[in-house]
């Protein structure tokens, strides 16, 4: 599995459209250059198991894992952030990055019906993949259309980089028509081979929707949720990341009272021992 580029977004005074275009451009660059071979899986870093965990509320066999870049992992280890009894939580360095990867197993020599998201209208109870209106048949012949690890097909990825104090958030998902629609916009020629089969959304505020259909759509209000807004709520000892939401909580919100924020990292909020 190949893929890290550093996201650099101009902090000068530009309009929202220009800044949004810059975020998309740098997010595509990250996707084109990201390489996770030397990254540390969360279960190794935090002493948890197993590596691949099922997605809740899904009847299909989707699994996920979380990887920390070397800079992010070193920060956790240096400051002992895998413990719940920490007194403070120093912010990650600007070169830190974390990814959450969603996989779907393809039986060797077999086939699957993979749900694909075509912008299905949100339901009051959420949109797990079993409610999506279309599937595509995937066999061994389609492997080259996916970033894959043996017969685990990558169908979705959250990519967070600490280039900005609130991190920069981009999310990618596989589609059989990857050149159609607004989520294909701006994909450069440097995104090659299987990586070109993924659509992308990115955000720099908590007020705009930025979600991955394979991750957040299954939740109530998932299709209006924001990566930044959700991760803003990550605090030491949290018991859940739900509900997914949008809109930024202020620093003095009662939610944070008596709790230590984990610099937007849910893995540390939920899995630290």
* Stretch 268-272: mean pLDDT: 88
Token pair, residue 175, equals 């589609």
Asked if residue 164 has pLDDT above 80, the reply is yes
pLDDT at 228: 92
Cα torsion 119, 120, 125, 131 to 10°: value is -120
Q: What is the pLDDT of residues 9-60, one digit of tens each?
A: 444 445 666 777 888 999 999 999 999 999 999 999 988 767 799 998 898 9
* Stretch 109-113: mean pLDDT: 94
Percentage above 90 pLDDT, the chain: 72
Q: How many residues does the chain have?
A: 273
Q: What is the pLDDT of residues 211-243, one digit of tens each?
A: 999 999 999 999 999 999 999 999 998 888 998
DSSP-derived 3-state class of residue 150: coil
pTM of the predicted protein model = 0.92
């Amino acid at each position: 599995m190949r893929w890290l580029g550093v996201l650099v977004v101009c902090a000068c005074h530009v309009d929202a459209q220009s800044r949004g275009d810059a975020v998309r451009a740098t997010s595509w660059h990250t996707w084109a250059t990201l390489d996770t071979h030397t990254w540390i899986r969360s279960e190794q870093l935090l002493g948890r198991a197993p590596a691949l965990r099922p997605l809740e509320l899904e009847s299909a066999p989707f699994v996920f894992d979380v990887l920390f870049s070397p800079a992010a992992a070193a920060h956790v280890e240096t400051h002992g952030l895998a413990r719940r009894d920490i007194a403070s939580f120093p912010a990650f360095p600007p070169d830190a990055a974390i990814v959450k990867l969603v996989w779907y197993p393809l039986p060797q020599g077999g086939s699957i019906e993979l749900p694909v998201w075509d912008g299905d209208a949100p339901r009051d109870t959420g949109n797990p993949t079993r409610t999506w209106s279309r599937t595509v048949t995937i066999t061994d012949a389609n492997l080259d259309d996916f970033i894959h690890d043996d017969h685990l097909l990558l169908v979705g990825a959250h990519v967070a980089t600490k280039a900005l104090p609130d991190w920069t958030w981009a999310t990618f998902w596989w589609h059989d028509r990857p050149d159609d629609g607004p989520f294909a916009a701006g994909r450069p020629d440097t995104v090659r081979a299987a990586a070109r089969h993924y659509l992308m959304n990115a955000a720099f505020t908590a007020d705009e929707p930025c979600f991955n259909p394979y991750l957040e759509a299954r939740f109530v209000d998932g299709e209006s949720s924001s990566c930044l807004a959700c991760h803003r709520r990550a605090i030491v000892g949290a018991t859940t990341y739900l509900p997914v939401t949008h809109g930024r909580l202020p620093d003095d919100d009662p939610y944070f009272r008596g709790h230590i924020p984990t610099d937007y990292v849910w893995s540390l909020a939920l899995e630290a021992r």
